[in-house]
Structure 1
Amino acid sequence: MRTASDISQPESLVLRPHRMQFVLDELPALAVCCAGGIYGGLEDMPFPIAGVAVFLCLSLVLLYRFLCLCRIRYRIGSEQLVCERGLLVRKVDYMELYRVVDFQEHQSLMQQLCGLKTVRIFSTDRNTPRLDLTGMRRKDDIVPLIRSRVEYNKRKKGIYEITNH
């Protein structure tokens, strides 16, 4: 990871979800797919074709979802956070860093066991008020990096927050 002093450089940091996030997200479907494959392979069971059909259909769905997860890319630039996703149809969301207002890190129990986390970014952007960076490694300090770039861009554009507390 880069330090906060590197924020003035125009280089982008590219992040991708960890592949273990797929297993965490699709655990029930993976279990049903395996059970269908095992059931379809057993002899003297009623309707073995149904087990094979479940296995094949779920395998295709899981393959598609895995490829979609592999195609997600988060690029943290000097002025924008760009989220690219999609397999057949690509969608690219741009979030200006000066619009970011808050951060949140979340870890489900399974993510804790696997060393992953979800970083949630809140902004005043109309199209993307909330962006979830799922499957990030727990040890990666993403929030301080984004926060320093957000503060840099707010100072650069002369944007100040006024609160009533």
Structure 2
Amino acid sequence: MKCPACAAELPAEAAFCHKCGVAISSSVDQPAAAGGPAAAKRPRAAVPPTAGEDQEEVLWQGQFSKLAMLGAWIAGGAFTLVIIVIGFFASFTGGAWAIAAGAIVLVWIALVLRLLYLQLSLHYYLTNQRFIHERGLLWREVDRIETIDIDDVGVVQGPVERMLKIGSIRLRSSDASTPEFMIQGIENVRQVASLIDDARRKERRRRGMYIESV
């Protein structure tokens, strides 16, 4: 089936043209001019959205979860234990113990600072129309992906992350500047991924587009 307005190829059951947006409905015969042929059939104009239909609504917002660093915490604990065990077996002197303690403290300070940085610098927002990603502390960078441009939503989890219901979400989109994007360290990751997938499908249906046609 072709669009009567722009001649684009459409699925047989399409309600709207995915290129020009015109409604695909039964045509209406116009009265014939006196003594002339019947007037050409014209498609009905698309019905404009009702008031409030285009209003942007926040569906979810989140940030990097401290649970997402569980592997780093475990590694830090293992490092601390190994240093202590080595100290006892090697009979560290006072100076050696001071160096070992300093190394342990530095490791834990680095882990805490990394967590604070990720939690303060990464912010995610999902609306019914866009996915917004903010990053940075002093210099803030904001990226936006239209939900209608999101082509695929995937979830990435390790064994421990599945137990804690955390993980990363991979977005693939037709956005030229962000063809692939990872949302890292998200709690209830499968639920959030479903929200994103539902938002993109609803926005495409609202604009009369099929998932396969974009």
TM over 0.5, shorter chain: yes
- The Cα of 1:137 is off from its aligned counterpart by 3.0
Separation of aligned partners in 2, 1:89 and 1:19: 23
**Which runs of 5 or more structure 1 residues have no equivalent in the other structure?**
1-6
Separation of aligned partners in 1, 2:137 and 2:77: 21
- CA 84–29 in structure 1, closer or farther in 2 if over 3 Å, else same: farther
What SS does the aligned partner of 2:64 have? coil
Offset from partner CA, 1:6-54 (integer Å, 9 cap, x none): x97622121223321122345324532x348747997x51422321231
**Which runs of 5 or more structure 2 residues have no equivalent in the other structure?**
1-52
- Higher helix fraction (1 or 2): 1
- The Cα of 1:63 is off from its aligned counterpart by 1.9
Structure 1 or 2, whichever has the larger Rg, is: 2
Alignment of 1:88-103 (within 5 A): 88-103=138-153
> Quick check: 2:153–2:196 contact (8 Å CA) kept in 1?
no
Which residue identity does 2:111 align to in structure 1? L
User: In the alignment, what sits opposite 1:115?
Assistant: 165
- The Cα of 1:111 is off from its aligned counterpart by 0.4
* 2:92 aligns with one of 38, 45, 57: 45
User: In the alignment, what sits opposite 1:127?
Assistant: 177
Query: TM-score scaled by structure 2?
Result: 0.59
Confirm or deny that 1:86 pairs with 2:133: no
RMSD of Structure 2 on Structure 1 (CA): 3.2
> Quick check: 1:40–1:52 contact (8 Å CA) kept in 2?
no
- CA 88–30 in structure 1, closer or farther in 2 if over 3 Å, else same: farther
Paired positions, count: 156
Alignment of 1:1-165 (within 5 A): 10-12=56-58, 13-32=60-79, 34-35=80-81, 38=84, 44-46=91-93, 47-71=96-120, 72-138=122-188, 141-157=191-207, 159-160=209-210, 161-162=212-213
- CA 134–88 in structure 1, closer or farther in 2 if over 3 Å, else same: same
Q: Which has the higher contact order (CA 8 A, sep 6+)?
A: 1
- CA 50–17 in structure 1, closer or farther in 2 if over 3 Å, else same: same
Identical amino acids, percent of aligned pairs: 21
Separation of aligned partners in 1, 2:65 and 2:112: 16
- CA 82–104 in structure 1, closer or farther in 2 if over 3 Å, else same: same
- CA 127–25 in structure 1, closer or farther in 2 if over 3 Å, else same: farther
